[in-house]
Structures are given as structure tokens and as C-alpha cells.
Structure 1
Amino acid sequence: MRDDMLLVEDLTMLLLDDETGTPSAAGTLPYTLGGAVLVELALLGRVTSDGKAALNGPKVFTDGDGPLPDPVLQDAYDKVAERTRRVQPLLLDIGAGLLNTMVDRLVERGQIRREKKKVLGLFPATRLPAVDTGHEAELRRKIRAVLEEGAEPDSARTAALIALLSASGALPSLRPPINWSGTVYKRAKALEEGNWGAEAVSTVVARTAAGIAASTAAVTVAVTVATTN
């Protein structure tokens, strides 16, 4: 399993439909992808929050110094550093346009390929089938172990990935599908709400990351309700 992938790359890969090239939960995707980047920064100890519940989530602050190992992370860190803001406005600022960047990176990494075709011989369409399936298969195995079998997440990173998938509303539409049930729903929601297990929540870093994931869930629900009414 690759250890150099960003959380937001893993999330994008899982959300992309191999046949259509369309991501699940597309309407709220910028918020979800922005949340994944902020969560990664939290796991790296480079952002913190005041942890206070508010309409737009907790305030987010930069922490630590020195360059970050990836330009996507550095760009997000710089946005946080510009001025103190609450998490929800940051999600869109960081996540806007990020899908195209992630698709390009996954193509460059050889994880997916871009195929151009025409539907009915007339309408252009793009497919994004998986190429190197080993990494994605391992991610899905870990997700299933937690949600279907009740295993503890093997890391805060796995817990964060499931929390973000749940926050996006896309878990039921993942392919191949999870064996969906009320128990699976409750396990996913518990992770979404920051219950990452005793080891994971024992650090300020993980609590900050969980708080950002929970805020991502709140804003995606709000956006979904607003666009359907």
C-alpha cells in the first residue's frame, strides 16, 4: 500500500466512479475535499482549533513552522495563516477546484487513467478507470473491516478517511457497495462525530482532526438541504 498518498487523494480515488468519471456526492465535493486537506494538516500537527462549537465551526489556527511536504498542503496552510477564520468558510476556500487537481495527480501517479469517448457517437464523455488497484483495494479492505466487521480503525488516518466518506454522504453509493445496514450506519456516524477509539482520541492532534471532519459533515448537510429546497 502506498504511503505517499495524501488523504485527499485517497478520498478522491474512492469517490470517483470508474465508468462515468463522476464523483459521488459531487454537489458538496469541494467542502469534503477541503476537509480532507485540513484534516491532514491537523494529523501533521500543523493546524489546531479552539474546539468551540459555533455556527460555522471552530476557529482554525496554524501551528508549527517550516515547509510542508506537498504543495496542496502548503497552499492550504497558507490560506489558514492569512487570517483567523472558522472551519466552514475555509473548507470551500481550500476545496474549490481541487477535484481537477486531484484527478490530474492520480493520473500522473498511475492510479487511474483518463479515457475520452463519445456517448451515442455524439456527446463527449470522460471515463476515469482505475489502473493500479492495489492501493484502493487495501483502503476498501480497511473500511470494510471497521464498518462491516466492527474492527477498530488501524490508525487515525483510516478513521479520518471513513469519517470524511460518511460526512460526504457517499458511503452508501461506493462501488463495490458496502453491505449497508443500521449497524454500519451507526459505526460510520460515530467516526464522523469523532469517536475514533481510545488510542486515536488521546492526542490533541486527533481531536482537532476529528473536529474538522465533524464540521465538514455539518456543512455538507447544510449545503445539501439548501440545494434541494
Structure 2
Amino acid sequence: MSGEHLSEQPLIVEDTLLLLFQPDSGTIAGENILFYVLGGAVLADLALAGRVEAEEHGLFTRVRAVGEGDAPDPLLEPAWTSLSKKPQDVQAVLAGVGPRLRGPVLDRLVHRGDLHRTEGKVLGLFPSTKITLASERRSALISDVRAALIDGETPAPRTAASIALLSASGTLPQFHAEIPWGSDVYTRAQELESGDWGAAATSSAVVRTMNAVIMNTVIAATVLPRL
């Protein structure tokens, strides 16, 4: 990915994985459910770009590709290619593309300069990887999340999407040092999970699609078996 052209605006899936990175331990929170979270974030990115639409299909929400040409970003290409063949339920897309996202998204964050990765060996024999923060962007994202969950500000749709995914992953209590955990934070996070994104969610077809995708990702992440 060294020659990859990066968009100025990071993707929602990049923001979400960067938020999940825990600087003190160098680990990613919610690994057991990460593919749901990243898959949902990719669908939200495609919705934000106006390249997918959501429609009710019985008890499920089906997503279909719209527009012509390639996906707006290489990280979104597998999901876009799959949806270009036929509309699919959100859960099917998550299962199809989610498990293969962790590595490429992590590579993107390293390439963008938000994370630093050092390869080494334990006891001189076993390969090991150490990941550390390399920019201030995670702190800025945390500030946006705090503003929505603690200060009561209405988040931008992309921030609302990331918060809903973090909440669905069950990892928000792990952010206590940065976002003090309590009943008010829990309640607001649950509201965002259920689609309470303020006026933006009702005024724009793009945001309504994002909202529908995230709500169905939340259902999948909280109801279906976790790996």
C-alpha cells in the first residue's frame, strides 16, 4: 500500500479502528466482534459516498449498489464489488467482507501516519509486532466522541456512526479513562445505536441510509454469535 493515494478525509472505517486502538496496551478493543464493526463501517462509508442504498426486505434491510464506476476508495472495493453483483442483506455483507478488513485498515492507518508498527522478535525467535500512536488524530476523534456522549452535542453523522459501532461492540466501558463510563453515557450511546442522530438523519437520504446500515449492523453485532 506504499504507493496508495490517500484521500484527505479518512474513512469512517479508519476512524473506527483508530478509536478502538488502545494506546496503553497497543491492542485493539473488541477483537471478537471486530469484523461486524469494520464491515458496518465500510457500508456506512459507501452510504456516505452515495454508492449504496438501503431498502426494507421483510424482516431484514437489504443494501444495493448505486452509481457507476469503481468504489470511491480501495478499502471499499470488496464490498462494492459484491453489492454490484446483487443486492444483499446487511448481515450477509458483514459476513462476506468483514473478516478480511482488519489487516488492510490497519495498514492504511500505518501508511497515513496515525499508527506506527515495529516488527521484532521475542526471545530472538518468535516474530512480534508492536503498534503505537504516531499522530494526534485519535485524540481529536476521542474529543468528538466525548462531546456527543458527555457534553450532549449533536454529532456529525460519521461520528454518530463510529459511536454506534463502538457501543455495539461492547467496548465503550474500556474507554473510561478518556470517556468516563456511567449511566448517562450508556443511555446516549444506546440512543445513537437506535438511530437518534438528530435532524441530519431525517433531512438527507444519504444519512438515512447510513443510519439504516448502522442500526442493522448493531443488530447483527449484538444478536448473532460472536467469534
Q: TM-score, normalised by structure 2?
A: 0.88
Q: Does 1:161 align with 2:146?
A: no
Q: CA, structure 1 residues 172+121, in 2 after alignment: closer, same or farther (shift >3 Å)?
A: farther
In structure 1, the residue corresponding to 2:178 is in which secondary structure? coil
In structure 1, the partner of 2:223 is 222
Q: Equivalents in 2 of 1:84, 1:33: separation in Å?
A: 19
Give matches, 1:206-221, under 5 Å: 206-221=207-222
Aligned residues: 221
List alignment gaps of at least 5 residues for structure 2.
1-6
List alignment gaps of at least 5 residues for structure 1.
none
In structure 2, the residue corresponding to 1:96 is in which secondary structure? helix
CA RMSD of aligned residues (A): 2.2
Q: Equivalents in 2 of 1:80, 1:67: separation in Å?
A: 12
Cα displacement (A) at 1:17:
2.3
Q: Equivalents in 2 of 1:186, 1:52: separation in Å?
A: 29
In structure 2, the partner of 1:91 is 94
Q: Equivalents in 1 of 2:72, 2:123: separation in Å?
A: 44
**Counterpart code for 1:109:** R
Q: CA, structure 1 residues 209+20, in 2 after alignment: closer, same or farther (shift >3 Å)?
A: same
Question: Any idea what the Cα deviations from partners look like across 1:22-77, whole Å, max 9, x if unmatched?
Answer: 311111101110100001111111111113562xx301111122333311123211
Moved more, 30-39 or 157-166: 157-166
Instruction: Determine which structure has the larger strand proportion and give its number.
Output: 2
In structure 2, the partner of 1:152 is 154
Contact 2:49 2:72 in 1 (8 A): no
Cα displacement (A) at 1:125:
3.5
Q: Equivalents in 2 of 1:37, 1:220: separation in Å?
A: 15
1:74 to 49, 62, 77: 77
Cα displacement (A) at 1:124:
4.7
Q: Equivalents in 2 of 1:70, 1:22: separation in Å?
A: 26
Q: TM-score, normalised by structure 1?
A: 0.87
Q: Does 1:23 align with 2:28?
A: yes
Contact 1:32 1:168 in 2 (8 A): yes
In structure 2, the partner of 1:37 is 42
Q: Does 1:12 align with 2:17?
A: yes
**Counterpart code for 2:42:** V
Q: Equivalents in 2 of 1:120, 1:177: separation in Å?
A: 34
Cα displacement (A) at 1:120:
7.4
Give matches, 1:133-144, under 5 Å: 133=136, 135-144=137-146
Cα displacement (A) at 1:131:
0.6
Q: Equivalents in 2 of 1:148, 1:52: separation in Å?
A: 36
Identity %: 40
Cα displacement (A) at 1:166:
1.2
Q: Equivalents in 1 of 2:216, 2:84: separation in Å?
A: 19
